[in-house]
Chain A
Amino acid sequence: MNLQRTALSCVAVWALIIPIQAHATATLIIQNDDASGTGFNDPTPAQPTGGNAGTTIGQQRLIAFKYAAVIWGSALNSSVTIRISSKWDIDPTQLCDATSGVLGSAAPSYVLAGAFQYPNLWYPEALGDALSGTDHQPGNPAINTHFNSYVGGANCLNGTSWYYGLDGNVQSAQLDLVAIVLHEFAHGLGFFTTTNGQDGTLLQSRSSIFDHYLYDLTAAAHWDQMTNSQRVTSAINTRKLVWDGQYATAQVPNVPLQLGTATLTVNNVPPLNELLVGTASFGPPITTTTNITGDLQVPSPDNFACNPPSGSLSGKVALIDRGPAGSACAFVQKVKNAQNAGAVGVVMVNNVPGSPPPEMGGNDPTITIPSVHITQADGTTLKNHVGPVSVTLRALNIYAGADFSNHPLLYTPNPYRAGSSIPHNDTITRPHLLMEPDYSTSLGHNLDLTGYFLKDIGWVVPAPNPSTNLSADVAITVTASGFRAGGNVTYVVNVKNNGPTTAVDTQVVNTAPSGITFSSNSGDCSTNFPCMLGDIPSGSSKSFTSKFTVPVSYTNNSITSTFNAAAAIPDPNTTNNSATANSTLGGSSGGGCASATGHVGLALLASILAISFALGRRRARVRA
């Protein structure tokens, strides 16, 4: 009876001190849909790395997914749990080889319409659920993801490996799983359109909410106002399709994007004006202080400038053709020849169609003149112009990856690259953003502008750029009953997460004191130790009652037992991860909740996770 009162009083105390969360958040649940022994359930031992405390490959994958889920959950607000079906089931025999492979994919499971601000537009399910406060597909995931578990294995991106660390400290041959999961989740959350950019067709006669903010500067219209043919044209209108949502636009200077976008100004051929350019990795960078003006001149007799020009290019901007195809003539060789002939700058003309013109690679520290790359079409127009053409190499005073009004640019290469095109930021954006289509090893785990894009489409985003140095201060307290030989001793264990973020995969271990045996656990844990308490939101607690059998032959007057708690993400304060309770013969622990009396050392933490691994393997799902 005393025990019950003590236990209840402790629970009551804890219940009272659980704060109402000050910051609204969303809960994203990773639904582990992998078969036993594979993917998230892969039992292969692994060394904890980069703040990921998992001790198996499967655990580390799950922790990395959860980490990304916590980051997004810290940014967004939704009263409806967002369930993400997650599988490591990409078939490597078909979709991977020594040098290339599919890493992962994601999309909303459903789209919804009719009950939101724009009733005629499709909303991704997670957003629709959040806006209405209703799970429209209860029990079904709102997002589907698939990943490739064979990266770095035989004949699958040889020499490469996933990086499961949580700190973004990825090495050159590694692929940062958290960064890629963050990107893919963004697609599932709404950085996404159901509209086909290749033929302009809509999904069942509706545009997506994403389309509502796609504004074509040439057509002066949004995608949801256009005809199919207009959308087809817009999808390849390079660097003329912008996002005019107010929140992302307002943040462009604050992210901040780099100020200055290189251009080639054509001074006396009015239809051309400013040309799109690719920049060079050699020579002086083109900045807002660059201002190189001259008349264009094609080098003679070799318009490729693979050989030194026969005449002077003094004061001219050399107009050089890329190529010829198959030749070893490098950009730096051409530019150096022009420089030696007196040119003040170089305009390279691409030898294949398409836009934007690519960047020019190479390295030659002796090159001192700037150069730009223009499209084959623009080059042809310049070459066909009768009379001198004056050009200026300079940078416009606009942000790299935005237009004059700070609208972020969407990726619209010509020819169309479906998927890589519309629902991504333009690759000219500097610094690189999470939602650019090409993988970058230096992204880190910032949500940069992405949260603001989601805010524009309707998400409530209290923290568009939450801390990505996630940690959780897990604190454990234990209250013990008294005991008698031939009876039981009972402990009430309470684990609180003091924040600041969700304590992922929290576990409690206890080794039965000498002479007594484990009997049962009940409450938030109902298995033997280690107790898998799962995720504990910041400010919340989980508790359970642990019962041990004391044999008739037990002769000591007291029982001392230590319980240790740990989450799978870094804990800034480990002094409260351990609690020891002392139970006395015929009495109790002295009432009240026992305080923490020590800390979990690294070795102990490792043992916790090692023990938990065996249990973790048996878990088919993170949450049922």
Chain B
Amino acid sequence: MDCSKLKRRTPVRRWKVSTSLLSACCATACANPGEPTPATTASTQQLNGEIREPIERLTHRSAGETQVARDGTTQVVDLRGGFQSVTIVRRNPDGTFSGICTNSTDDAVRFLTSEPAPAVEDR
């Protein structure tokens, strides 16, 4: 369940999540954490989609074709700005940071859309 994340991010990111959708989500599922509703799932998917594209511009793995360098022996592949390792941090409720460094779009999206949590779980 990701309602607080949705509420936090929507105004800034201009996501096209409708107000009614958010209201419905937060009036129901947020009152019962751990019980996602279909509306929540759809919203989260949309949210993930908004983040996915800019992350993928950094992490994509669609390299260019192999070229032969001017020395006639060295083979060269243009990584086309992809294959990037992306450092992401989250400020935890206790003020500490949690971070990952990832070249996976899935991981980046998962981390960015997860709830703030203690750096180390105490339960």
A residues sitting closer than 8 Å to B (CB atoms) are 91-95, 97-115, 122, 125, 128, 132, 134, 136-137, 144, 146, 154-155, 157-160, 172-173, 175, 180, 183-184, 187, 192, 194, 196, 198, 203-204, 281, 322, 325-332, 358-362, 417-420, 423-424, 437-439, 441
Whether A437 and B99, one on each chain, are in contact in the complex, defined by CB atoms closer than 8 angstroms, is yes
Task: Give the top 4 A-B pairs by smallest Cβ distance, nearest first.
Answer: A418-B104, A419-B102, A439-B99, A361-B120
Whether B14 and A136, one on each chain, are in contact in the complex, defined by CB atoms closer than 8 angstroms, is no
Q: Which residues of B contact A330 (CB under 8 A)?
A: 122-123
Q: Which residues of A contact B102 (CB under 8 A)?
A: 417-420, 437
Contact of B69 among A136, A154, A160, A198 (CB under 8 A): A136
Q: Which residues of A contact B87 (CB under 8 A)?
A: 102-105, 180, 183-184, 439
Q: B residues 83-123 with Cβ under 8 Å of A?
A: 83-91, 95-104, 106-108, 111-112, 114, 116, 118-123
Determine whether B31 belongs to the interface, using a CB cutoff of 8 Å to chain A: no
Q: How far is the CB of A425 from chain B (nearest CB, A)?
A: 11
Q: Which residues of A contact B123 (CB under 8 A)?
A: 322, 327-331, 362
Determine whether B77 belongs to the interface, using a CB cutoff of 8 Å to chain A: yes
Whether B13 and A100, one on each chain, are in contact in the complex, defined by CB atoms closer than 8 angstroms, is no
> In whole angstroms, what is the CA distance A390 to B81 when docked?
54
Q: How far is the CB of B66 from chain A (nearest CB, A)?
A: 6
Taken residue by residue from 45 to 70, chain B's Cβ proximity to chain A (1 for < 8 Å, 0 otherwise) reads as 00000110111001101010010011
> In whole angstroms, what is the CA distance A361 to B119 when docked?
9
Contact of A419 among B59, B97, B121 (CB under 8 A): B59
Q: Which residues of B contact A424 (CB under 8 A)?
A: 101
> In whole angstroms, what is the CA distance A125 to B71 when docked?
14
Determine whether B9 belongs to the interface, using a CB cutoff of 8 Å to chain A: yes
> In whole angstroms, what is the CA distance A154 to B11 when docked?
11
Determine whether B38 belongs to the interface, using a CB cutoff of 8 Å to chain A: no
Q: Which residues of A contact B78 (CB under 8 A)?
A: 109-110
Whether A326 and B79, one on each chain, are in contact in the complex, defined by CB atoms closer than 8 angstroms, is no
Q: Please name the residue on chain A nearest to B58 by beta carbon.
A: A105
B residues sitting closer than 8 Å to A (CB atoms) are 5, 8-9, 11-14, 33-34, 50-51, 53-55, 58-59, 61, 63, 66, 69-71, 73-79, 81-91, 95-104, 106-108, 111-112, 114, 116, 118-123
Whether A441 and B83, one on each chain, are in contact in the complex, defined by CB atoms closer than 8 angstroms, is no
Q: Which residues of A contact B108 (CB under 8 A)?
A: 102, 419
> In whole angstroms, what is the CA distance A437 to B119 when docked?
14
A-B contact pairs, 20 of them (CB 8 A): A94-B54, A95-B54, A97-B5, A98-B8, A102-B86, A111-B76, A111-B79, A132-B71, A136-B70, A137-B76, A155-B8, A172-B95, A203-B63, A281-B120, A328-B123, A418-B104, A419-B86, A419-B104, A420-B101, A438-B101
Whether B107 and A100, one on each chain, are in contact in the complex, defined by CB atoms closer than 8 angstroms, is no
Whether A204 and B74, one on each chain, are in contact in the complex, defined by CB atoms closer than 8 angstroms, is no
Whether A112 and B69, one on each chain, are in contact in the complex, defined by CB atoms closer than 8 angstroms, is yes
Q: How far is the CB of A404 from chain B (nearest CB, A)?
A: 27
Whether A103 and B88, one on each chain, are in contact in the complex, defined by CB atoms closer than 8 angstroms, is yes
Whether A146 and B58, one on each chain, are in contact in the complex, defined by CB atoms closer than 8 angstroms, is yes
Q: Which residues of A contact B8 (CB under 8 A)?
A: 97-99, 155
Q: Which residues of B contact A128 (CB under 8 A)?
A: 74
Q: Which residues of B contact A137 (CB under 8 A)?
A: 76
Whether A110 and B120, one on each chain, are in contact in the complex, defined by CB atoms closer than 8 angstroms, is no
A-side interface mostly: loop
Interface centre among B8, B86, B120 (most CB of A within 10 A): B86
Q: How far is the CB of A2 from chain B (nearest CB, A)?
A: 50
Q: Please name the residue on chain A nearest to B5 by beta carbon.
A: A97
Beyond contacts A136-B69, A418-B102, A439-B87: 10 other A-B pairs, Cβ-Cβ < 8 A, are: A100-B91, A104-B86, A111-B77, A112-B74, A358-B120, A418-B106, A419-B59, A419-B108, A420-B102, A424-B101
Whether B100 and A95, one on each chain, are in contact in the complex, defined by CB atoms closer than 8 angstroms, is no
Whether A437 and B100, one on each chain, are in contact in the complex, defined by CB atoms closer than 8 angstroms, is yes
Known: A128-B74, A137-B76, A157-B91. A417 touches B100 (CB 8 A): yes
Q: How far is the CB of B57 from chain A (nearest CB, A)?
A: 9
Q: Please name the residue on chain A nearest to B61 by beta carbon.
A: A196
Q: Which residues of A contact B54 (CB under 8 A)?
A: 91, 94-95
Q: Please name the residue on chain A nearest to B101 by beta carbon.
A: A437
Q: Which residues of B contact A104 (CB under 8 A)?
A: 86-87
> In whole angstroms, what is the CA distance A180 to B85 when docked?
12
Q: How far is the CB of A384 from chain B (nearest CB, A)?
A: 25
Interface centre among B33, B50, B55, B99 (most CB of A within 10 A): B99
Whether A160 and B121, one on each chain, are in contact in the complex, defined by CB atoms closer than 8 angstroms, is no
Whether B90 and A419, one on each chain, are in contact in the complex, defined by CB atoms closer than 8 angstroms, is no
Whether B122 and A331, one on each chain, are in contact in the complex, defined by CB atoms closer than 8 angstroms, is yes
Contact of B107 among A144, A327, A420, A441 (CB under 8 A): A420
